[in-house]
């Protein structure tokens, strides 16, 4: 039976669309008018003074761009102008029906809100849950009101299909529907179904750092992206999108999230990886070794206990930062000694070196070293200029006086002439010399400060025995030796990046272009403490949004294994946890939870959002059988699924299986960090690369190498299992291969 409000709701939608059409027509007219103006100015370019016309073209192009943007965003939302409505009364005001959508729309004349933006303060009421008396924050104030009802709409192509009122007792149908959807091999925006605990994180204090420990599939990536959108909406006046940076684990991941940001109205923010950012910000070109090689070695050799003196871990620790601080101090001292000489022009002392040294070591100590040197050069230049003037005028005066005295004091004309000529010659020689010296004195003096070569400086630390002994008295001789031995060959690994960036920041400073003011980090468990500390100091901000999951910390041999140290590093941070998974069915999560409970981290089990699916299937097989995989793949496709992955433990296994499948003419393709995500083939994915991604169905195959009950294998397995949205198949010789028991 149709809801009694249905006709009214259709009417409202029609009204909204018609108003949008009016606006669209107007913007179409604007566009034409601007186009005409541009044409006119173009024609004028050749005849009259072209600068005016040029300015006209520029201005009109800007209008054109604005009008075009407005038109495009209107067209985009017209198909689905809003997704929810709240019946709300702010204390002391009238009751209102507010329709919530992806962007706001106001009536030009009446200023009536036709659509309210999901990021606006009042929309918080929709996400926050409860009906009845409520409070909500608007900037620094807290508003109160009463929420009578919440309604959700299903609108497709501008047509109202259905709607329903939601309260605490009804199931969130919209969410259920969103979750049964197919993985489009890309994330989508979820503004209509953001949950209360997710909303709290999206809107958490924007000026403070946040750290989120979230279960696999709890929406961490999605939330981080929505928080960016919310941030720009709320703080856009104070921040340019260019000053925001999202750090993703690899290029593949950037591609994966790439479409969501524009959908959320976010353009121009810097999306990069740590490695790429560091190279851009430092200008260093480094041929980095693949950071997964180390992981693969550990996995293939089944290593569970890492050596006590584990170099990747040391390089990611705050002790290493301390070591570099000592090194920087040493560099600073060496440079300071160069100020022992005073600044002279001819025989005149212009400035004392000790004064400059004090500027360098004390007054300007807040600046990066080379910036201090640049500043001191300016100080010297100004002082030289000022003092040279007075030296010259007193010297001129002195010669005047001496010449005058010679003229009046010497009786003998020959002697008089000779003395006067001598003084004049002397003066004429010294004055231009002093003038010339005063021009170059500052540069000449500062020449002793050569530009520091960061790569060389760092390499010295890695290879110079005496330097290392001096800087790391905590280490035994054997440890120092191990450190030196590890760096015999010049090769760069991920763990070196924080150090290079830190040295660059402290010595040269980070240029404005790369001085991001707000940072969003996904998969933060894969970072080391020093990587975070280096960024924090280089950028001089702690406005970080960090999301991650310790259960997926497959790089634990070099990165974080707990959050306490991160919270210490960011003392202002708010810490959140997300326990619900929106990705996987209950059946799949039950299997993944078995692995989670084996981990040492003692993380709580993940609660799947109530959504059932088929039980994960174990397919017993002694060896990798391409025909069986092909049949399985085809049958999954028959279920209507499109994004299907075959996840293997290691890269070499993935390469091997891809080869076999391709030879057997199964449409398979191996995923690499550089490849674009496709959906038309069976994607063969090494487990470490699957992190962060999701697929409709996952086939987990393990033959050459079973999953061992080691820290790293449990995590890799957990990552692999939690990639599946709807269907999961385990293919191998036995369930034990996947750390599961029984048949």
**Which one, 227 or 649, has the nearer CB to ligand ATP?**
227
- Give the ranges where 316-409 is alpha helix by DSSP (H): 318-337, 353-358, 369-409
Is residue 100 a contact residue for ligand ATP (CB under 6 A)? no
Tell whether residue 527 is a contact of ligand ATP (CB under 6 A): no
Among positions 680-699, residues that touch ligand ATP (CB under 6 A) are: 692, 694
> Is the Cβ of residue 222 or residue 313 nearer to ligand ATP in the bound state?
222
Q: What is the DSSP string of 646-701?
A: EEESSHHHHHHHHHHHHHTT--EEE--TTSPP-SSSEEEEEHHHHTT--EEEEEEE
Where helices occur in 184-339 by DSSP H, the ranges are 196-202, 220-235, 251-257, 260-263, 274-282, 292-300, 311-315, 318-337
Least separation in angstroms between CB 649 and ligand ATP: 18
Q: Shortest gap between Cβ of 217 and ligand ATP (angstroms)?
A: 4
DSSP 8-state symbol, 707: P
- Could you say which of 195, 279, 282, 291 contacts ligand ATP (CB under 6 A)? 195
User: Of 192 and 244, which CB lies nearer to ligand ATP in the complex structure?
Assistant: 192
Burial group, residue 638, by CB count within 10 angstroms (0-12, 13-18, 19+): exposed
**Which lies closer to ligand ATP via its Cβ, residue 391 or residue 595?**
595
Select 214 or 316, whichever has its Cβ closest to ligand ATP. 214
| Residue 150 is labelled as binding a ligand | no
Residue with tokens 């009417």: 11
553 binds ligand ATP (CB under 6 A): no
Binding status of residue 197 toward ligand ATP by CB under 6 A = no
CB nearest ligand ATP: which residue? Answer: 219
Query: Known binder of ligand: residue 217?
Result: yes
613 is in an annotated binding site: no
Question: Looking up tokens 């005149």, which residue turns up?
Answer: 348
Q: Is 209 helix (H, G, I), strand (E, B) or coil?
A: coil
Q: By three-state DSSP, how is residue 135 classified?
A: strand
Are 550 and 575 in contact by the 8 Å Cβ rule? The answer is no
Q: For 294-319, what is the HEC assignment?
A: HHHHHHHCCCCCCCCCCHHHHHCCHH
Q: Single out the residue of 16, 218, 711, 737 in contact with ligand ATP (rule: CB under 6 A).
A: 218
Distance (Å, whole) CA 119 – CA 100: 9
Among 41, 198, 213, 472, indicate the residue that binds ligand ATP (CB under 6 A).
198
Give whole-number Cα distances, 452 to 331, 366, 381, 498, in Å: 9, 18, 22, 18
Q: How many CB atoms are located within 10 Å of the residue 377 CB?
A: 16
Q: Nearest approach, Cβ of 539 to ligand ATP (angstroms)?
A: 24
Asked if residue 215 belongs to a known ligand binding site, the reply is yes
SS3 content of the chain, % helix, strand, coil (to 5): 50, 15, 35
Residue with smaller CB distance to ligand ATP, 113 or 258? 258
Size of residue set near ligand ATP by CB under 6 A: 25
- In whole angstroms, what is the distance from residue 295 CA to residue 52 CA? 62
Q: Does residue 525 interact with ligand ATP by CB under 6 A?
A: no
Judged by CB under 6 A, the stretch of 10-18, 43-51, 210-218, 240-248 that binds ligand ATP is: 210-218
- The annotation status of 216 as a binding-site residue, yes or no, is yes
Which x/- pattern over 571-610 shows residues binding ligand ATP (rule: CB under 6 A)? -----------xx---------------------------
178 binds ligand ATP (CB under 6 A): yes
CA atoms within 13 Å, Cβ hemisphere of 690 = 35
Site string for ligand ATP, 13-42 (x = CB under 6 A): ------------------------------
Beta bridge partners of 518: 244
The answer to whether 219 is a known ligand-binding residue is yes
* Numbered residues of the known binding site: 214-221
Which residues contribute to the site for ligand ATP (CB under 6 A)?
175, 178-179, 187-188, 190, 193-195, 198, 214, 216-222, 549, 552, 582-583, 692, 694, 722
* Numbered residues of the known binding site for ATP: 214-221
């Amino acid at each position: 039976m149709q809801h009694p409000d249905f006709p009214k709701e259709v009417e409202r939608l029609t009204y909204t669309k018609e108003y949008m059409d009016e606006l669209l027509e107007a913007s179409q007219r604007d566009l034409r008018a601007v186009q005409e103006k541009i044409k006119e100015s173009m024609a004028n370019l050749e005849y009259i003074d072209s600068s005016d016309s040029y300015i006209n073209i520029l201005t009109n192009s800007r209008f054109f761009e604005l009008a075009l943007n407005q038109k495009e965003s209107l067209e985009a939302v017209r198909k689905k102008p809003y997704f929810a409505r709240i019946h709300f009364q702010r204390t002391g005001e009238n009751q209102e029906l507010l329709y919530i959508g992806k962007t706001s729309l106001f009536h030009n004349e009446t200023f009536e809100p036709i659509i309210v933006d999901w990021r606006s303060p009042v929309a918080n009421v929709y996400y926050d849950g409860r009906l009845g008396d409520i409070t909500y924050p608007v900037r620094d104030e807290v508003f109160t009101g009463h929420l009578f009802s919440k309604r959700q709409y299903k609108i497709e192509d501008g047509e109202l299909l259905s709607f329903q009122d939601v309260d605490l007792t009804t199931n969130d149908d919209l969410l259920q529907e969103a979750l049964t959807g197919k993985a489009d091999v890309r994330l989508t925006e979820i503004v209509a179904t953001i949950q209360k605990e997710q909303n709290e994180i999206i809107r958490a204090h924007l000026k403070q750092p946040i750290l989120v420990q979230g279960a696999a599939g709890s929406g961490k990536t999605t939330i981080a992206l929505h928080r960016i959108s919310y941030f720009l909406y709320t703080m856009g006046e104070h921040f340019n999108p260019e000053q925001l940076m999202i750090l993703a684990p690899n290029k593949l991941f950037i591609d994966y999230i790439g479409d969501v940001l524009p959908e959320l109205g976010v353009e121009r923010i810097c999306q990069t990886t740590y490695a790429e950012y560091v190279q851009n910000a430092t200008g260093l070109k480094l041929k980095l070794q693949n950071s997964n090689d180390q992981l693969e070695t550990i996995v293939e050799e089944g290593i569970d206990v890492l050596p006590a003196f584990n170099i990747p871990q040391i390089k990611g620790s705050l002790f290493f930062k301390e070591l570099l601080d000592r090194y920087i101090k040493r560099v600073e001292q060496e440079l300071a000694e160069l100020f022992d000489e005073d600044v002279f022009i001819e025989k005149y002392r212009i400035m004392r070196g000790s004064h400059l040294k004090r500027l360098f070591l004390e007054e300007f100590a807040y600046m990066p070293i080379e910036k201090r040197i640049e500043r001191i050069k300016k100080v010297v230049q100004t002082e030289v200029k000022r003092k040279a003037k007075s030296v010259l005028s007193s010297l001129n005066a002195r010669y005047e006086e001496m010449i005058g005295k010679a003229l009046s004091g010497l009786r003998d004309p020959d002697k008089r002439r000779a003395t006067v000529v001598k003084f004049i010659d002397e003066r004429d020689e010294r004055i231009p010399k002093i003038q010339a010296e005063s021009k170059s004195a500052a540069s000449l003096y500062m020449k002793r400060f050569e530009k520091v070569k960061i790569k060389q400086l760092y390499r010295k630390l890695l290879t110079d025995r005496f330097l290392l002994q001096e800087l790391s008295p905590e280490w035994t001789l054997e440890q120092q030796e191990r450190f030196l031995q590890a760096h015999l060959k010049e090769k760069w690994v991920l763990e070196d990046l924080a150090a290079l960036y830190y040295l660059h920041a402290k010595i040269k400073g980070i240029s404005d272009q790369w001085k991001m003011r707000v940072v969003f980090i996904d998969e933060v468990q894969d970072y080391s403490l020093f990587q975070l500390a280096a960024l924090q100091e280089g950028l001089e901000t702690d406005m970080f949004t960090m999301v991650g999951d310790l259960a997926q910390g497959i790089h634990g041999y070099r990165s974080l294994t707990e959050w306490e140290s991160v919270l210490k590093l960011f003392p202002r941070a708010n810490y959140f946890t997300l326990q619900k998974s929106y990705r996987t069915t209950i059946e799949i999560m039950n299997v993944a939870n078995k692995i989670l409970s084996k981990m040492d981290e003692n993380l709580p089990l993940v609660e799947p959002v109530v959504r059932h699916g088929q039980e994960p299937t174990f397919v017993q097989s002694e060896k990798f059988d391409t025909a069986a995989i092909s049949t399985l793949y085809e049958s999954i496709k028959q279920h209507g699924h499109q994004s299907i992955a075959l996840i293997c433990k290691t890269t070499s296994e993935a390469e091997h299986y891809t080869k076999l499948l391709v030879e057997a003419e199964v449409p398979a393709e191996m995923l690499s960090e550089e490849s674009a995500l496709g959906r038309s083939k069976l994607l063969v994915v090494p487990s470490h690369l699957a992190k962060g991604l999701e697929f409709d169905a996952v086939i987990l195959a393990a033959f050459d190498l079973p999953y061992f009950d080691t820290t790293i294998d449990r995590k890799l397995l957990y990552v692999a299992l939690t990639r599946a949205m709807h269907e999961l198949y385990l293919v191998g010789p036995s369930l034990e291969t996947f750390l599961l028991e029984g048949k």
